Structure 1
Amino acid sequence: MSISKNVKLPHMFYGGDYNPEQWPEEVWLEDMRLMKKAGVNIVSIGIFSWAVLQPGPDTYDFAWMDRLMDLMAENGIMADLATATASPPAWLARLHPESLPVDENGARYSQGSRQHYCPNSKAFRLYGQRLVRKLAERYKDHPALAMWHINNEYACHISECYCDVCASEFRLWLQRRYSTLDELNARWGTNFWSQKYYDWEEIVLPRKTPTYPNPGQQLDYKRFMSDSLLDAYLGEQRILKEITPHLPIMTNLMGAHKPLDQFEWAKHMDVITWDSYPEPTAGIPVFAAMQHDLMRSLKGGEPFILMEQVTSQVNWRQQNPLKRPGVMRLWSYQTVAHGGDGVMFFQWRQSWAGAEKYHGAMVNQTGDENTRVYREVVQLGNELKQLDGIVDARVEAPVAIVFDWPTWWALELDSKPSRDVLYLDQIKQYYSVLFERNIGVDFVQPDADLGKYKLVLAPTMYMVAPGVADNLESYVQGGGTLLTTFFSGIVDENDRIHTGGYPAPLRKVLGLCVEEFDPMLPGQTNAIQVEGLGAGTDGEYSCSLWSDIIRLEGAQPLARFTQDFFAGSPAVTVHAFGSGKAYYVGTQGEAAFTSKLVGGILDELNLAAPLAAPAGVEMTVRVGNDGQRYIFVLNHLAVPADVQLPQGAYSDLLSGGSFTGALQLAPNGVAILHAN
């Protein structure tokens, strides 16, 4: 169910979290006026309202919500209505203390902030689902209701629970997964350290142990917790599907958020939404762009909604600087450029009390219209009204990056050759090259159909599950280009070593064997000598973090180490396989090398930016259902930037201007171009 199919709101979503229960009702009318002035067309309501909606186990108060929903309908503002289960009321913790989560040391968390629930708590699910049913039955036909918002930011604070209920549920989950103890023992390798199990009741959660727990158990526990949180979501989703099958249902994700296997979650969300909070003084938000692309990829390229960002400053970092003038607008258009069909904020009106009272909002506590922030909010909201033609347009992405949550979990478990090898860091360094060259990127699972991509990058693909190697071989055999890196192809889906020599399942397609690997200490470096990679790339580059000692089995060396006992041995290779090529990078080269390596591959594949522009100008392409191509151009520089246009005239959706030959963008400037 794409956003555009929501007939109540076939436009760019614009609004934010709205918490009117924190304010006297006379403020609500003023909120409506200010929202309409700003172009707001939808707000999220009820996210943290459980205690207000349900004062006690058997009492409910919907009168204020009735008045709010009616007021919104009268003013043409739609409701993204939350199920309110993100923060259980105090009475639930008092009556059912077992509903509170437990940490790995066995200590129970206290009520008093938010997200204080065990996802497997029967009391939490019972009372939460009762509330959801009452909300759905009461508002199912309300003209303001456009979308359902389940809970909020699952696993933001409590991603793991170690209570006795979770232990029992974990054993049941394992029985469904493995059927027999013999199979479980084999998968976990329990003959090591006398960990073999003879009764399901002997299995506990990987709580605090004297030293490293069993990695197979740890990995399955992470799967179990992601599934437990998903099952809590599904308990509410099923009720909403039953009562309002025509309405979209979602929860707001948190980007590249480790605890949840979001490809699995996406199967149960009608639209992907997520929350983005880049540090505003850290420069161009490359990681935010990467996460936009990841979120868009969760449902095969379908547009997403940015459910939360901040207009000005957050409240939860060590220091919380402001976004400078124009940055909120620029970063909002980055969202749209990467496939967003909605730009929303936390929150509408800044709170006057509570832990987030210093978190920025669309209007301040007084509702002052004469602030810089509100003026920017009004400008953006009214500009977005011009972009109906872009709704549901898809991003052009000729390159894919393999992203896999179980690989992330397994790679960063205890007892690894190097704790400095971090999954996101490895993904980011390759994504950054593509971002800098303005090449569109999708993220894919390892077993995805790769046929439409000219280049597939799989950095540190530590885990190779059954079928993945065959999928990669088929892709390269058919003419694709694959690049993977050190510490790939090492273990199976249970974190057991693939026998047959590293990287056993990938040896054939890569044409090599890794005899040993040598993780480097902090500050330690080696160097690689590059020869024959391409014009302008030859020479010596620094490398760090890791060195593979490679034996060639058909691959050709592109770079060799220059130091240590393995000096002269291959560091980077390429293997002609079928009609395609497979590259292997056996170290972490300095940024200049990675840029030249990936850039050379892109040049060979004739993959280039849509327009010529200086570094610091970001570009993407979205293609509408009618075939119209929209080129987004965003100037992240503090100076004007000149962009060269191909032959012909181009119009800018935002300014309405027409351009030939070239376009100059102001600092923080944005253009959305299409050919006339």
Structure 2
Amino acid sequence: MIDPFQSGGGEPAVLASVPAPPPPPPPIRLADGLAFGGDYNPEQWPREVWDEDVRLMREAGVNLVSLGIFAWGTIETAPGVRDWSWLDDAVDLLHRNGIGIDLATPTAAPPSWLLTAHPEIAPVLADGFREPAGGRLAWCAASPIFRRYALLHVEALAERYGRHPAVRLWHIGNEFGGGNARCYCDLSAEAFRAWLRERHGTLQAVNAAWGTEQWGHRYSDWDEILPPRGRHGAPNPGQFLDYERYSSDALLSQYLAEKAVIERHSAAPVTTNLMVGAGAQVVDYASWTPHTAIAANDHYTLVDDPLREQELAFAGDRMRGISAGRRPWLLMESSTGSPSWQPRNRSKDPGEIVRHSLGHIARGADGAMFFQWRASRAGAEQFHSAMLPHSGTRSRVWQEVLELGRHLQSLAEVQGTQVEPARAAIVVDDVAGWALNHGLKPHRGLRYGRELREWHRALWERQILCDVVAPDGDFDGYDLVIVPTLLNIAESDAARLRAVPERGGSLLVTYLSGVCDDDGQVITGGFPGAFRDVLGAWSDEFYPLQAGESTALDDGTAVAEWTERVHLDGAEAVVRYDSGSLAGGPAVTRRAVGDGAAWYVSAHLASASIDRIADRLIAEAALAPVAEAEPGVEAVRRTGDAGSFLFLLNHTDADRKATAEGFDLLAGEPVGPAVTIPAGGVRVLREPTA
């Protein structure tokens, strides 16, 4: 690693490779009970407002706030000139009132004086345009100038507050990659070449991995290799994937550099806020979480998503799946109402603040935090919702914040427990998502998140808990593993997945999974190459359907978007194509493998088809629902030394029933064996001990 305190500014300030993560730290306890609070920005307000803030925080039950996330320029007004007075006052005020601090390194927002003096630290887009000042995360991860100034400020911050008793957690940067996921400048190109030497070893190996004989792009010198610049839509897949991986590692190296400085001065745990969901993949999140003391996520539902609560559950299941030992994680940011960045930012419906927050808690979060505490009057996010909205304490939002605070206090004993082990898993990989979403593909309109959401939805609606896990994980504990559109996969990972049916489990692989290896090269011999033999079925041709076109299946449904010509090689056809040029051919296949089974789904199935297959998979794997409940009720159980806690969330506008019993921690009363969950409501039962 380049030492930013020695570098003169000419060499890229990134690690050529990311070090192995340390062993997982012990479970983190951030507060007495579940953490509750949000981003606090006192620098935006007159001093007299702060006393009201703290009084209202105590009224709401706030016990943790994130502080100083965008405060670099407010503290350091010129190079090396720092005014700590306001931050000293804020830290002491919070501490006197028993409110813990998640103290941020404010390096997400370089100060204006730094951007003015060194505009070259700003990221460069693929078309060569350098981003102007004023945006989010306006820095290039390869810039030694940014690294040097950033770490000098982090050192000063850590020296001052590293041992302050109010600091419960360190928060490095903010939403890494949320505005600077990729930079294509010359320093980034140099750092990329160093990263390639570390990954591939030789130039010949790079040429082989990228297949550079295609279009005659073979490299004869390292300096010939550049990032995938330009506006053309056909980058070399191997080059593209490696640049995505490099970019994730470059950002991670900034996080690790700041983390190392913090740890010289403080024993408090260190993390950063990720942006994990089923949509866009910003960095390779599974490679980041091992470097955090507690995995933390920012999650915002989309107003136009008809199943917001299911996407929320997917994000929680993935956070749990990429957390060491499936340990509790932290919801670092969510919204009490409308966000500010969607096309139409409608507020949440009554009850959603509580239900969504407890949905995250149910799936493993040890706290519910928000952006932000008090709604801003000015700036780009002035219309973003907050715990204390523009309308103040007379608002519905404030009343629901108070209600949520009371509920979290009632659930204090849940802190530190873990979601019960799942027997089903869905395999997700950010790198495979990058590969599917970009470049010349047989169907350029497909997006990675669709199949992930659909198969997760089918399990979620049936109360079947599943982990959302990375492909390099351990699958031995799962009786059902679903692999949706995992375009690229390393052979070692594919081998672990192929072993699932061989040991008696069920493996389901969808179209466009295992088609390419880890370098993005097609595995020849028939699709999907990595899983062809275990599936006992293969396809020789893709048949993506045109806009408005559909093909009937013999189960009475129709498919759009994607079909394949499939051949049986030991498998049986479960569903066949019933029209078009593929009529009579297998669409869904199943191969018995001892006591297990391997399924292949070659088409973009309708929800009804997925539901029927899910019912059969659940029956074959003998998976039991978390609880017997009416449709529309989400059920999740957390367990630990404190006991067993069943969360029942009703996402409908009518009362629903479940078969369960115990002491309802929210209502403060015993219930069961039949439980009514009010419309839009939540019950959390401490279940009887055996």
Please, what TM-score do these two structures have when normalized by structure 1?
Answer: 0.95
Contact 1:314 1:320 in 2 (8 A): yes
Contact 1:389 1:624 in 2 (8 A): no
- Structure 2 match to 1:630: 645
- Secondary structure of 2:235's partner? coil
Contact 1:276 1:288 in 2 (8 A): yes
Deviates more, 1:196-205 or 1:292-301: 292-301
2:598 to 570, 573, 582: 582
CA distance in 1, matches of 2:80, 2:457: 53
- Secondary structure of 1:433's partner? helix
For residues 490-639 of structure 1, what are the structure 2 equivalents within 5 Å?
A: 490-529=515-554, 539-626=555-642, 628-639=643-654
1:668 to 680, 683, 686: 680
Superposed displacement of residue 577, structure 1? 1.6
Which digits, 9 at most, give the CA deviation of each residue in 1:191-220, with x for residues without a partner? 111101111111111111555221111111
Which digits, 9 at most, give the CA deviation of each residue in 1:560-606, with x for residues without a partner? 11112321111111111233110111111211010111112102322
Is 2:271 the partner of 1:250? Answer: yes
For residues 291-310 of structure 1, what are the structure 2 equivalents within 5 Å?
A: 291-299=315-323, 300-310=325-335
CA distance in 2, matches of 1:271, 1:351: 28
- Secondary structure of 1:247's partner? coil
Q: 1:361 to 1:501 in 2, by over 3 A?
A: same
Contact 1:502 1:513 in 2 (8 A): yes
Which digits, 9 at most, give the CA deviation of each residue in 1:407-458, with x for residues without a partner? 1111222111001222111111101101111111101222321111110000
- Secondary structure of 1:443's partner? strand
Superposed displacement of residue 4, structure 1? 8.4
CA distance in 2, matches of 1:110, 1:565: 53
Q: 1:356 to 1:133 in 2, by over 3 A?
A: same
CA distance in 1, matches of 2:465, 2:232: 47
Could you tell me which amino acid in structure 1 is paired with residue 289 of structure 2? A
Superposed displacement of residue 8, structure 1? 5.9
CA distance in 2, matches of 1:281, 1:545: 22
CA distance in 2, matches of 1:91, 1:60: 13
CA distance in 2, matches of 1:70, 1:307: 22
1:428 to 443, 448, 453: 453
Superposed displacement of residue 499, structure 1? 2.2
- Structure 2 match to 1:44: 66
Superposed displacement of residue 234, structure 1? 0.9
- Structure 2 match to 1:119: 141
CA distance in 2, matches of 1:512, 1:369: 62
CA distance in 1, matches of 2:576, 2:92: 70
Is 2:274 the partner of 1:274? Answer: no
Contact 1:484 1:583 in 2 (8 A): yes
- Secondary structure of 1:267's partner? helix
Contact 1:478 1:580 in 2 (8 A): yes
Contact 1:562 1:568 in 2 (8 A): yes
CA distance in 2, matches of 1:64, 1:615: 52
- Secondary structure of 1:519's partner? coil
For residues 139-538 of structure 1, what are the structure 2 equivalents within 5 Å?
A: 139-208=161-230, 210=232, 212-244=234-266, 246-256=267-277, 257-280=280-303, 282-285=305-308, 286-299=310-323, 300-365=325-390, 368-396=392-420, 397-529=422-554
- Secondary structure of 1:504's partner? coil
Which digits, 9 at most, give the CA deviation of each residue in 1:478-524, with x for residues without a partner? 11110011122211111111123222221221012212121111221
CA distance in 1, matches of 2:430, 2:347: 33
Superposed displacement of residue 475, structure 1? 2.0
Is 2:658 the partner of 1:643? Answer: yes
Superposed displacement of residue 25, structure 1? 1.0
Is 2:106 the partner of 1:68? Answer: no
- Secondary structure of 2:672's partner? strand
**Aligned length in residues:** 661
Could you tell me which amino acid in structure 2 is paired with residue 541 of structure 1? T
Q: 1:6 to 1:467 in 2, by over 3 A?
A: closer
Contact 1:652 1:672 in 2 (8 A): yes
CA distance in 2, matches of 1:39, 1:92: 39
Identity %: 39
Q: 1:8 to 1:470 in 2, by over 3 A?
A: closer
- Stretches of 4+ aligned residues off by more than 6 angstroms: 1-4
Could you tell me which amino acid in structure 2 is paired with residue 206 of structure 1? P
Could you tell me which amino acid in structure 1 is paired with residue 395 of structure 2? T
Contact 2:99 2:166 in 1 (8 A): yes
Q: 1:202 to 1:284 in 2, by over 3 A?
A: closer
Deviates more, 1:311-320 or 1:450-459: 311-320
Which digits, 9 at most, give the CA deviation of each residue in 1:219-264, with x for residues without a partner? 11101111111111111011112222x3111111111341200000
Could you tell me which amino acid in structure 1 is paired with residue 401 of structure 2? V
Superposed displacement of residue 160, structure 1? 0.9
Q: Once superposed, what is the RMSD of the aligned Cα atoms?
A: 1.7
Unpaired runs of at least 5, structure 2: 1-22
CA distance in 2, matches of 1:455, 1:21: 51
Could you tell me which amino acid in structure 1 is paired with residue 648 of structure 2? V
- Structure 2 match to 1:532: none
CA distance in 1, matches of 2:571, 2:261: 55
Q: 1:143 to 1:439 in 2, by over 3 A?
A: same
- Secondary structure of 2:629's partner? coil
CA distance in 2, matches of 1:518, 1:95: 55
Could you tell me which amino acid in structure 1 is paired with residue 245 of structure 2? R
Contact 1:462 1:489 in 2 (8 A): yes
CA distance in 2, matches of 1:505, 1:111: 46
Contact 1:451 1:480 in 2 (8 A): no
Unpaired runs of at least 5, structure 1: 530-538
Could you tell me which amino acid in structure 2 is paired with residue 262 of structure 1? Y
Q: 1:129 to 1:495 in 2, by over 3 A?
A: same
Contact 2:27 2:416 in 1 (8 A): no
Superposed displacement of residue 625, structure 1? 3.1
Could you tell me which amino acid in structure 1 is paired with residue 586 of structure 2? P
Superposed displacement of residue 343, structure 1? 0.3
Contact 1:6 1:146 in 2 (8 A): no
